[in-house]
């Protein structure tokens, strides 16, 4: 058939596929100066008529008209160039999509990563939402019917089952048309579709099983089912993103009511999933004590082990501790010092028992220093009282017993150095955990970081600005992904009304911005082509508190899983401040990564022909 012309115009180059409904050919259009390539689908009626009935011709024409409209309105559906009938067969002439089917990609590459699969779904679900809005069901979603286009990496939906059903229709004796053959592929076809009653979620079912094939390499026939529920058991793939797996699980439910109600709902679940903020007290700034008061179990382990040492002890306690340990030391000294010093000592010992009662009422914990002490009593008065030690404490020297320093009650300040066990200023610096701070003199206090006793809310560790901290302290949002080529309608369906819409800087475009989309951490921007309604440029601006892993993940998805190691390295260099700007090109896409003056990381991706 290679040398023949179909419809006296199309020269067949090769046969691409054969099936029960006919054959598919690669051909050239001899009427076009460029002799452009095209795909010709032959559709054989299920019943061979000597002459094609009028009703069947009308049905075929009606379906072809719908297919033409879909191809003209959406770039991820092949255009219909022409249709005709010849030798009792129908023919569709469609746009030739240069690329590889998902089956070919998986056979060539092996199992795809969860990021790659998620990127494909994010780019394909808007196409399904588009056709479903027009009351069209694809009916034959499977890896063979999705082509990844070489020019932009976007998935293209081919081989609509409605055309097959059009030629698989016969007329009964009463003049009613009945469907003789159900279009679809066993395994990828939902139960209601196999019964001849497809619904919109039937397409989502086939898409979910396609995703499973890409992740695991297993066709539906190779997957086990739960005998009790009939649900498919597929979770054998490694490193499956939990949200992706949950979305797939729901899309392949046996009963349609348990699946997503629409492609848009599935897209939203996939792109706008939970915003997981890993907040180990990181977001707390020194001016917001009320937000600090709630140390959740997740935040507590991040702090080093602030022991149960009462963080802020009352000055009276500082005297009690040495005094409770002194009786044994003073006895020999009292024997040597005579009756006068002895009588003073006994009088002082009689005074000691009254202090323990004052331990409980005086723990005035400052409200700011509560983050992780196990029993924070947030009585809001800080009452630092750094210079308590006023009580007579005539002989407060714990170890240096040899120094009598008689002067009975004149508050012997000359020998305060022995009070080193718990100098009054440092307990007010509650963040330091160890009780035994060996400071030589009462003033230096090495560990407590220059005695900032007057400062409330001393929380040094929650600094999040430097990018050298542990990644677990970073904000990790799930950023909605809309690569170049996505239709504006999909954008609005998922994100809603933008912050503003303005005239775009380049070409006939409009600029759309979603500001502070995720907890004041992420801004999204898009330049939309007014002629095609498609995104020509995608922009994301991250706060530096967002983790590098999240930025890397977002960049890779914007490039439809094609981020090269050099591009990822460029992002890391900008993120760590080693570069202020990095530009790159991947296929027909250009991009730039910049550190803005506002210390936000900006990523811009655009069509190379846009500007």
The phi-psi region of residue 40 (left if phi > 0; otherwise alpha if psi is between -120 and 50; otherwise beta) is beta
Q: Which residues are within 8 A (CB) of 420 and not within 5 positions of it... i.e. 6 or more apart?
A: 438, 439, 440, 441, 442
The phi-psi region of residue 296 (left if phi > 0; otherwise alpha if psi is between -120 and 50; otherwise beta) is beta
140 is catalytic: yes
CB 541 within 8 A of CB 551: no
Rounded Cα distance between 415 and 499, Å, is: 68
CB 111 within 8 A of CB 244: no
CB 484 within 8 A of CB 536: yes
CB 155 within 8 A of CB 76: yes
Rounded Cα distance between 64 and 69, Å, is: 9
Tokens, residue 419: 């009070």
Residue of 29, 140, 152, 159 marked catalytic = 140
Tokens, residue 316: 């009276």
Rounded Cα distance between 46 and 42, Å, is: 13
Rounded Cα distance between 372 and 375, Å, is: 8
Tokens, residue 361: 């009422």
Q: What share of the chain is helix, strand, coil (3-state, %, to 5)?
A: 30, 20, 50
Q: Is residue 167 packed enough to be buried (19+ CB in 10 Å), middle (13-18) or exposed (0-12)?
A: buried
* Catalytic positions, written as ranges: 140
């Amino acid at each position: 058939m290679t040398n023949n012309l179909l419809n006296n115009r199309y020269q067949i180059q090769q046969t691409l596929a054969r099936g029960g409904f006919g054959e598919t050919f690669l051909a050239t259009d001899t009427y076009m100066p460029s002799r452009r390539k095209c795909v010709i689908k032959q559709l054989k009626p299920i019943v061979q008529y000597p002459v094609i009935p009028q009703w069947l011709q009308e049905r075929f024409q009606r379906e072809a008209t719908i297919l033409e409209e879909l191809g003209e309105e959406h770039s991820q559906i092949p255009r219909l160039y022409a249709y005709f009938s010849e030798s009792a067969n129908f023919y569709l002439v469609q746009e030739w999509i240069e690329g590889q089917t998902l089956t070919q990609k998986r056979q060539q590459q092996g199992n795809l990563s969860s990021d790659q699969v998620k990127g494909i779904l994010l780019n394909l679900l808007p196409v399904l939402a588009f056709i479903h809005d027009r009351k069209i069901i694809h009916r034959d979603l499977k890896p063979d019917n999705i082509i990844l286009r070489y020019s932009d990496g976007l998935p293209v939906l081919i081989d609509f089952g409605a055309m097959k059903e059009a030629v698989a229709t016969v007329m009964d004796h009463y003049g009613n048309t009945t469907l003789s053959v159900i279009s679809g592929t066993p395994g990828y076809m939902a139960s209601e579709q196999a019964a001849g009653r497809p619904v919109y979620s039937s397409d989502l079912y086939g898409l979910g099983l396609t995703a499973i094939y890409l992740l695991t390499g297993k066709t539906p026939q190779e997957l086990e089912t739960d005998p009790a529920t009939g649900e498919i058991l597929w979770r054998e793939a490694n490193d499956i993103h939990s949200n992706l797996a949950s979305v797939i699980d729901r899309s392949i439910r046996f009963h349609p009511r348990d699946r997503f109600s629409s492609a848009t709902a599935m897209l939203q679940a996939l792109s706008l999933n939970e915003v997981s903020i890993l907040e180990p007290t990181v977001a707390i700034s020194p001016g917001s004590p009320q937000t600090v008061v709630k140390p959740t179990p997740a935040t507590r382990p991040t702090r080093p082990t602030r022991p149960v040492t009462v963080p802020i002890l009352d000055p009276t306690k500082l005297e009690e501790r040495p005094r409770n340990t002194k009786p044994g030391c003073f006895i020999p000294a009292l024997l040597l010092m005579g009756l006068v010093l002895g009588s003073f000592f006994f009088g002082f010992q009689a005074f000691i028992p009254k202090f323990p009662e004052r331990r409980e009422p005086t723990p005035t914990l400052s409200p700011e220093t509560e983050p992780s002490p196990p029993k924070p009593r947030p009585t809001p008065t800080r009452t630092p009282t750094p210079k308590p030690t006023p009580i007579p404490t005539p002989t407060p020297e714990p170890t240096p017993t040899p120094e009598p320093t008689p002067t009975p009650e004149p508050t012997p300040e000359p020998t305060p150095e022995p009070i080193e066990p718990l100098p009054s200023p440092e307990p007010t610096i509650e963040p330091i955990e160890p009780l035994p701070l060996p400071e030589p003199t009462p003033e230096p206090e090495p560990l407590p970081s220059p005695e900032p006793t007057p400062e409330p809310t001393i929380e040094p560790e929650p600094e999040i600005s430097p990018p050298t901290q542990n990644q677990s302290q970073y904000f990790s949002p799930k950023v909605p992904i809309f690569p170049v080529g996505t239709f504006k309608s999909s954008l609005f369906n998922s994100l809603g009304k933008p912050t503003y819409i303005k005239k775009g800087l380049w070409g006939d475009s409009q600029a759309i911005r979603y500001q502070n989309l995720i907890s004041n951490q992420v801004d999204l921007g898009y330049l939309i082509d007014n002629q095609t309604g498609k995104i020509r440029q995608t922009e994301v601006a991250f706060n530096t508190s967002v983790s590098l892993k999240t930025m890397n993940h977002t960049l890779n998805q914007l490039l439809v899983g094609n981020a090269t190691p050099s591009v990822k390295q460029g992002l890391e260099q900008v993120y760590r401040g080693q570069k202020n700007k990095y530009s790159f090109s991947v296929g027909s896409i250009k991009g730039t990564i910049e550190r803005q003056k506002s210390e936000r990381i900006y990523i811009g991706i655009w069509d190379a022909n846009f500007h």
